[in-house]
A and B are shown apart, each in its own frame.
Chain A
C-alpha cells in the first residue's frame, strides 16, 4: 500500500496538484500547487518538472491523473441499443473508467474512452520525467468517489452531482445505486461574478441532462451535490434550489484529513485531492487501470543519487589520472636525474681537471681528438704502433716455403707492410693472400698488378698488408 500519492488535475486550462500522505488511517495534505496551462510554453512535461524540482513534490509517489474533459468521449448504451462510436474516423479507443463506474444490468452503460494515441500523448510527460502514473481517469471518477466516501446518506435515489467553477460546469447524473449514467460538460463564463450571476444556462443544462438520462422531468427534492469553486456561492445555491426544486447539498472535500497548518484544500483542488486519495485508498488498489496496459512509466530513477554517483566516479577517475600522471612524471624525473649523474660521474672521472662542463659528450669528443692529434705527432714512438722487426718476423713466419714465393723488396712502416715478390705461377700470390686473410690482426691484404716477366717467365706482383692498430 503506497504511503504517499499525488493527484494531478489537468482540467480548466490549469494543472492542479495535491500530494497526500497516509499516516495510519488518516491522510495529510503535504503539498498543493496549481499553474496555468494557457500558453504554448506551459507544456505539461515542463510543469511536471517544476512540480518535482521547484515545488518539492515526491517523484517516487504514485500519480493519479484526471485527463482534460475535452479529450474524453462518453459512450452511452442500453441493453437494446449499442453505443454509437463517438469518433467517425474509427480511431483506436481506450476505455479508462470501465472498472470505476460500477453498474448493474438495468442501468444504461456509460463508458469513458479516449483515443489511444491521445492517451499515450498524455502519458508521455510522465514517462519523460520518469514518474509512476498509476491511475488515469476522467474528472467524473474522483467526484463520484468523493460522493460515495463523503455522503453515504444519499442512497436509493438518483442524484445530480454538479462540479462548477468560473469557466465550466460538469454535470453528473447518478442512478439509485450511485452509478453515473450521464455526464455533461459545458462552459459557463458568467457564473464567476457573484454580483450578477446568470444561472439560467446551468439550470437548463441540468434539466436537459436529467431528461436525457431518465426520459422524464426532474423530480422534486432530488439531491443535488455541488462541488468545486462555486460550492460556496450561496446565491447560486438559492437560484438552483428555487429553479430546480432540488435539495442542495455541498459536497465537502476529503474527510479523514489531519489538520495541516501549511496546506489546506480548497474546492479548486477537490478533484486533485480526491485523485490522490483514490491512489492511496485500498479500495482502489484493484482499480489501478494502467497496470494492465503497461503504459506506466518505468520505476522512477533517483537522479540525484545517480548524479552524485557519477560525480564521485568521475572525480575518482580524474584523481587517479592525475595521480598516475604525477607519479609517472616523478619516476621519469628520477630516471633522468640518474642518467645525468652517471654522465657527469663518467666525465669527471675521465677528465678530472675540467671545471666548466657544458656538454659532456662534445667536450669528451674534443678531448679525444686533441689527444689523438697529439699522439699522431709522435707516430712510431707510440705503444700502439707496430715494431718493424716484429712485423718482419711475422711476415717471415707466415710465408710458407711451399708457396714458392720469393720476396724481393719489403718496406715496413707503422702498421703497413709493402712488398714486391716473385713466384712461378699466378696461383701462388692469391693462395698467399688467402693465407694472410686467415691470420689474426689483419685489417687488409691486397695483391697489386701481378704480371709474368717475358724473359724469366716468372710472375712478379706487389702486395700491401695492413694490420689492426694493436701492439705487435
Chain B
C-alpha cells in the first residue's frame, strides 16, 4: 500500500485519510444521530404527557358519550299525547288535582329535539303529599323527568307548604 511514496508522504496521506474519515463519520453519522437524539429527548416527554392527557380525555369522552346516549334513549319519537291526561290522573289519585295549577310549554332544545316542559304549582298542601306525588312521578314507565323543585312554607299554617314543580320530557321534532 502506498508504494513509491516516501515515509513522510505516506504519513501525510494516512493523516489526511484519518481526518477525512473522522469528518465523514461526524457529518454522516454522529451529527444526524445527535440531532435526532436531541429531538427525541424533547419529543418523548411531550408524547408521554399527551398519552396521559389522552387517557383522561378518553375516559371523559366515553362517560359523556354514555350519558348522551342514555338521554337519546329517553327521547320519545313524537309528542306523547297521553302525558297530560296521565299527569292529571296521578294528581287526582293523590287528591292534589284541586290544589294544583298545571301549565305546559314547548321549546326546541336542539335542531331535532323539542322539550315539553310542564310546570305544576301546588298551593297549601302537606309536604308528605308532595313527596308521595313526586315519588310516584319518579317511578318507572313515566317519560316525565323532574327538573326543579321550589318549596315555600305556608304563611298561615306550619304544616302546609306552597310548592312549584317543573317537569318535562323530550321528543323528536316532526319533520
Contact of A333 among B6, B40, B54, B138 (CB under 8 A): B40
Residues B36 and A329 in contact, CB atoms below 8 Å apart: yes
- Residues of A within 8 Å of B51, CB to CB, are 339, 342-343, 346
Q: How far is the CA of A380 from the CA of B67 in the complex (A)?
A: 12
Residues B151 and A409 in contact, CB atoms below 8 Å apart: yes
Q: How far is the CA of A325 from the CA of B7 in the complex (A)?
A: 36
Residues B25 and A322 in contact, CB atoms below 8 Å apart: yes
Helix, strand, loop or mixed for chain B's interface? helix
Residues B44 and A343 in contact, CB atoms below 8 Å apart: no
Among B97-142, those with CB < 8 Å from A are 109-110, 113, 131, 134-135, 138
Q: How far is the CA of A221 from the CA of B74 in the complex (A)?
A: 148
B58 — nearest CB in chain A belongs to which residue?
A: A350
- Residues of A within 8 Å of B79, CB to CB, are none
A349 at interface, CB cutoff 8 A: yes
B133 — nearest CB in chain A belongs to which residue?
A: A389
- Residues of B within 8 Å of A384, CB to CB, are 67
B47 at interface, CB cutoff 8 A: yes
Cβ proximity bits A422-433 to B, threshold 8 Å, 1 near / 0 not? 000000000000
B33 at interface, CB cutoff 8 A: yes
Contact of B68 among A326, A328, A375, A410 (CB under 8 A): A375
- Residues of A within 8 Å of B6, CB to CB, are 54
Q: How far is the CA of A371 from the CA of B113 in the complex (A)?
A: 16
B18 — nearest CB in chain A belongs to which residue?
A: A311
Residues B67 and A346 in contact, CB atoms below 8 Å apart: no
Residues B68 and A374 in contact, CB atoms below 8 Å apart: yes
- Residues of B within 8 Å of A413, CB to CB, are 147-149
A408 at interface, CB cutoff 8 A: yes
Q: Known: A336-B40, A365-B57. Is A410-B150 also a contact (CB below 8 A)?
A: yes
Q: How far is the CA of A53 from the CA of B55 in the complex (A)?
A: 72
Residues B37 and A346 in contact, CB atoms below 8 Å apart: no
Given contacts A392-B131, A412-B148, 4 further A-B contacts (CB under 8 A): A322-B25, A346-B55, A371-B64, A375-B71
**Chain A interfacial positions (CB closer than 8 Å to B):** 53-54, 318, 322, 325-326, 328-329, 332-333, 335-336, 339-340, 342-343, 346-347, 349-351, 360-361, 364-365, 367-368, 371-372, 374-375, 377-384, 387-389, 391-393, 407-414
